[in-house]
Structure 1
């Protein structure tokens, strides 16, 4: 059983404060702030003979990847196991422990500063409980999930979560993640693209959350309204501290971007939902998801979220069913349960 406690308020990467381990006999709380050599723990994360069990581990995976350069493998997420048993996709650990073990956990320390030292006994007890009760919960969920035949699928889904959680964002593509960028013209995108790349690189270098470098909304306003002077940015109400710190650099980037030849402008961003026939196709696919939900008892959102259905449509329309870019619904356990039926509909 494996868990972490971390802090992520202003930083780009989560800051690891504590690691909890429990194998049914020994419960360990590891302080990574005082141990220089973490190689035995890293070896455990990589040990193929030891299954690592976590709950709602998305951010934990980021912690491991950032702190140790690897992910726990093999691993399974009990939140995903619970989803295969009919629970909501985001069912919390405390709710499952209360339902299956009839134990009410104290969650009062969930907002604690795990980087502060010394940790109180109450904080240590809270952290220990997260893996102590995970062991019997996992055993119960495993028994139930094997009975209904979803155990292999739960392992596949956990591995898929790991792959998706650790993705490297290319700075040159960061502008595509700016909300509202699709509304901009190619000429404006030519300015937004290097600005978004600079913001991402700066956030990673200084380990600061993106919006603490420069707010996303301010970045879009700057480009949309052509605020290409310090005075114009200040008058428009953009964050003053960010302007003072980065104004000169931003104007330098804008100046270079405006010299870009027209044939090197990024293409206008075309949203999938704006393509002809999208709404009808999406509705057809949604009906197939509902049918699969009734047949399997799994929640529609778990079988295929809106994002996953869009990923599938994009795979068919834009990527011409490229085998190297198979969407979630066309691989693993979803392929037989849903994927083949969706493919027939599109």
Structure 2
């Protein structure tokens, strides 16, 4: 179990990877105490029984640039499982995305392995092996790593070779490779990972939607997000959503008022956080009514045809079973309601989804198709 601790060692491994068709990649990281994930380990494996190594990004003087250069090499496929968090780390730290990318979780959903299939399941079903998961929740920032940690970490890229080759062959045979590529576009879009403090209020769930209240929510969320990013601490360590809503409702005017909060952390009642809270509320109080934030309530006003929505659910189940693709990957329940309400700018009606489900869904809405039950199966009938 070789661990690379210098830039030169990483460069030599990546030079070998440049000559191959693909490389499998995984990471171990910590995020409980920081806003941005702390990269603690990178695992890499070459095809077949080629070299498999651990890269220690916590080693003094090690640069990840050789790996980032490999990411930019479009002749080598970069294979991950459930890549989103890994890609966020590399985007934040290196401003780079692997190109081309292959995510075995997405591919497995297209290949009929169900929704959000786990790596352990694919190892068992495809690689015919078992994983020892006892090291899953260890502290990956502590050094030295134990042999058990190293073995666990390497298993996340060595079995991935068999899984990738199996799924890639299945996609090629079925002609669905483009489907996976389409799904992965969102994972390599910077907008997926950029969190703007000015938009943070949209993630706060509220019951009250008055202008003054929402202005306070917006400014408090803006301050919290900006502070969390600049200090690299979780937003919940600044103050939690319930405290934010309390502050937006009570609107304390000074530090003495803040001290009366039931939900605000003690550390947030003084210093920079307290000053930031009071300034945010002051800005909100001075905001003109026309500048108050407004929630998008368009979807709430839609008139959903419940009978049509139910028919669309039956059609989706049938199409998913016939195609072997996970239902939720094709369309969500919210998608079906939007279609039943007459909306057409819906993901389920675009791209490969239109081929599998969307085109027939529109024909069903237009009265051009009917559904017939025969035993436990449902078939589409032309009208």
TM, length-normalised to structure 1: 0.87
The match for 1:20 is: 43
Cα displacement string for residues 126-178 of structure 1 (whole angstroms, at most 9, x for unaligned residues): 11111111111222222333333322212322233333873323322211111
- 2:270 counterpart SS class: helix
Inter-CA distance 108–38: structure 2 relative to 1 (3 Å threshold): same
Per the TM alignment, residue 279 of structure 1 is displaced from its structure 2 partner at its CA by 6.0
Mapping for residues 163-202 of structure 1, pairs under 5 Å: 163=189, 166-180=192-206, 183-202=208-227
The match for 2:319 is: 292
Mapping for residues 1-346 of structure 1, pairs under 5 Å: 1-24=24-47, 25-34=50-59, 35-163=61-189, 166-180=192-206, 183-238=208-263, 239-245=265-271, 246-267=273-294, 269-278=295-304, 280=306, 283=310, 285-306=312-333, 327-343=346-362, 345=365
Inter-CA distance 274–332: structure 2 relative to 1 (3 Å threshold): closer
Partners of 2:144 and 2:87 in 1: CA distance: 25
Inter-CA distance 125–140: structure 2 relative to 1 (3 Å threshold): same
TM, length-normalised to structure 2: 0.79
Give the structure with the higher percent helix.
Answer: 1
Per the TM alignment, residue 313 of structure 1 is displaced from its structure 2 partner at its CA by 8.5
Inter-CA distance 306–15: structure 2 relative to 1 (3 Å threshold): farther
Partners of 1:290 and 1:109 in 2: CA distance: 38
Larger RCO, structures 1/2 (Cα 8 Å, 6+ apart): 1
Partners of 2:219 and 2:360 in 1: CA distance: 42
Inter-CA distance 131–174: structure 2 relative to 1 (3 Å threshold): same
Q: 5+ residue gaps in structure 2?
A: 1-23, 367-383
Inter-CA distance 335–50: structure 2 relative to 1 (3 Å threshold): same
- 2:112 counterpart SS class: coil
Do 1:293 and 1:299's aligned partners in 2 also have CA atoms closer than 8 Å?
yes
Per the TM alignment, residue 45 of structure 1 is displaced from its structure 2 partner at its CA by 0.8
Inter-CA distance 240–11: structure 2 relative to 1 (3 Å threshold): same
Per the TM alignment, residue 221 of structure 1 is displaced from its structure 2 partner at its CA by 1.9
- 1:11 counterpart SS class: coil
Inter-CA distance 311–78: structure 2 relative to 1 (3 Å threshold): farther
Per the TM alignment, residue 308 of structure 1 is displaced from its structure 2 partner at its CA by 5.1
Inter-CA distance 287–187: structure 2 relative to 1 (3 Å threshold): farther
Partners of 2:234 and 2:311 in 1: CA distance: 40
- 1:168 counterpart SS class: coil
Cα displacement string for residues 26-61 of structure 1 (whole angstroms, at most 9, x for unaligned residues): 112111122433221111011110001111111111
Inter-CA distance 47–311: structure 2 relative to 1 (3 Å threshold): farther
Inter-CA distance 162–126: structure 2 relative to 1 (3 Å threshold): same
- 2:153 counterpart SS class: helix
Partners of 1:311 and 1:178 in 2: CA distance: 23
Do 2:304 and 2:337's aligned partners in 1 also have CA atoms closer than 8 Å?
no
- 2:282 counterpart SS class: helix
Cα displacement string for residues 225-279 of structure 1 (whole angstroms, at most 9, x for unaligned residues): 4444444444341222222342232112212221222222223x24355214036
Aligned residues: 336
Quick check: which has more Rg, 1 or 2? Answer: 2
Inter-CA distance 111–183: structure 2 relative to 1 (3 Å threshold): same
Per mean C-alpha deviation after superposition, the further-off stretch among 12-21 and 299-308 is 299-308
Q: 5+ residue gaps in structure 1?
A: none
Inter-CA distance 297–164: structure 2 relative to 1 (3 Å threshold): farther
Do 2:43 and 2:55's aligned partners in 1 also have CA atoms closer than 8 Å?
yes
